[in-house]
Amino acid sequence: MSPQSQSRFPRLHQPEQPPSLPAWMLDPPPARRTAGDRIATALLALPGATALRRRWQVRQDRHRLYQRFPNMMKVAGFAVCFAVTLGLVLATYALRASTGQP
């Protein structure tokens, strides 16, 4: 290969070179445990919870509801979002009407 064609390709990282990434990227902090993670861990710590979960997964053929009925879940999600939004708008309207503001 000619020197011109070699310059067109990016240089690959050589193992003997130190990495140019900052330390926090090379050794990131552990992921934060959310409230959902803590609740799931607590529920799975109950006696028989793992066996029950395994049986449920086998019964569902390891497919989640949104995987088995994707379009139905989209319609249901839309309906839930609409109902929540409508409830919030009506609650705001009722609070404004009760305070007497125009």
Give the number of domains in the chain.
2
Q: What is the spatial distance between Cα 70 and Cα 76, in angstroms, rounded to a whole number?
A: 10
3-state DSSP helix/strand/coil % of the chain, to nearest 5? 65, 0, 35
pLDDT of residue 100 exceeding 90, the answer is no
Q: In this structure, is residue 23 part of a structural domain?
A: no
Same domain, yes or no: 61 and 73: no
Same domain, yes or no: 102 and 73: yes
What is the tens place of the pLDDT at every residue in 17-64? Answer: 676 888 888 888 888 889 999 998 999 899 999 899 888 888 877 777
Same domain, yes or no: 61 and 74: no
Tokens of 18: 């130190």
pLDDT of residue 8: 65
Same domain, yes or no: 101 and 80: yes
Q: Find out whether 19 and 26 touch, Cβ atoms under 8 Å.
A: yes
Same domain, yes or no: 77 and 92: yes
Looking at per-residue pLDDT, the higher value among 95 and 13 belongs to: 95
Q: What is the spatial distance between Cα 21 and Cα 59, in angstroms, rounded to a whole number?
A: 47
Parent domain of 73: 69-102
Q: In this structure, is residue 96 part of a structural domain?
A: yes
Q: Which residues contact 26 (CB under 8 A, 6 or more apart)?
A: 19
Whether this model's pTM surpasses 0.75: no
Same domain, yes or no: 40 and 52: yes
Q: What is the spatial distance between Cα 47 and Cα 31, in angstroms, rounded to a whole number?
A: 27
